Amino acid sequence: MLKNQKAIVTGGLKGIGKGVSEALLRNGAMVAIVDIADHLWHEINNDWTNKFPNGQFYYVKCDLFNRQSTISAFKEAYEILDGLNIVINNAGIYDESDWERSIDINLKAMIRVAYIGINLMSKEKGHFGGTIINSASGGGLSTVGFPSYCAAKHGVTSFTRSMSAIPEFYKLHGVRINSMCLGAVHTDMTQQHDLRQSEELDALPSLHLVNKIKREIVNSMSSEDMIPLEKAGDLYVKLIRDTNAHGENMIYISKYQKEPYYHEFKGLN
């Protein structure tokens, strides 16, 4: 159980973020959702009120593309929760037609959120330490035909490992940083096939092939083959509970995989 633990989840109103939020609530945590999707909150609020009658969950609107909006939202969420123990650094997009936007949210915003989370949990600043989990996906350890998405996610896994390599980091801050690398999870993002048209897409004809690649990948899998959202959420809870994990990339590619495992990093020799 994570009773009385206080968690912020970015992008927590749909997809993996929603699955993780529900897993946290099932395990007794208080959850503040930092997201921009106002239109989803009313329905989810009603659903969770019925599903988690004793649950404590909140919504703070935030534009994660914007630095000041992110800082303000985390400050508000921290005050609502009256503290912070867990940050699920999850918000992301799939948009190869606008690679700069993809990098902005999938890498830059994730690093920004990680640093904000460290500041709000650091023992050096008088807090109690905590845990950050970055959503890196399987794209953070492989190349699956989505250039900017995979580039960003590789950046996330590298950032995670690099933070743990800084001498004295954990001793000073008491904050563990890990990444979750999942295979295909049954979400709207996974089912999204087509890129929207843009000048960038027209200028780089190779990006037209990305539609074809993703359609082939998705069509090769049935929804029964994808990782269920509830399972995805439970894996995040498992990683939170592993107090020995710091700088790790947990891998779970298929729902047929018995147990997750940690990526074995082989440095330069």
Q: Indicate which residues carry an active-site annotation.
A: 149
> Do residues 2 and 29 touch, judged by C-beta distance below 8 A?
yes
Mark 205-229 as b/e (b = at least 16 C-beta within 10 Å).
Answer: eebeebeeebeeebeeeeeeebbeb
CA distance 162 to 164: 5
First to last CA, the chain: 42
Q: What's the full length of the chain, in residues?
A: 269
Nearest by Cα to 33 from 55, 60, 54: 60
Enumerate residues 6+ apart whose C-beta is below 8 A from 114.
87, 89, 132, 134, 159, 163, 177
> Do residues 13 and 44 touch, judged by C-beta distance below 8 A?
yes
List 134's β-bridge partners, or say none.
89, 179
Q: How many CB atoms lie within 10 A of CB 197?
A: 9
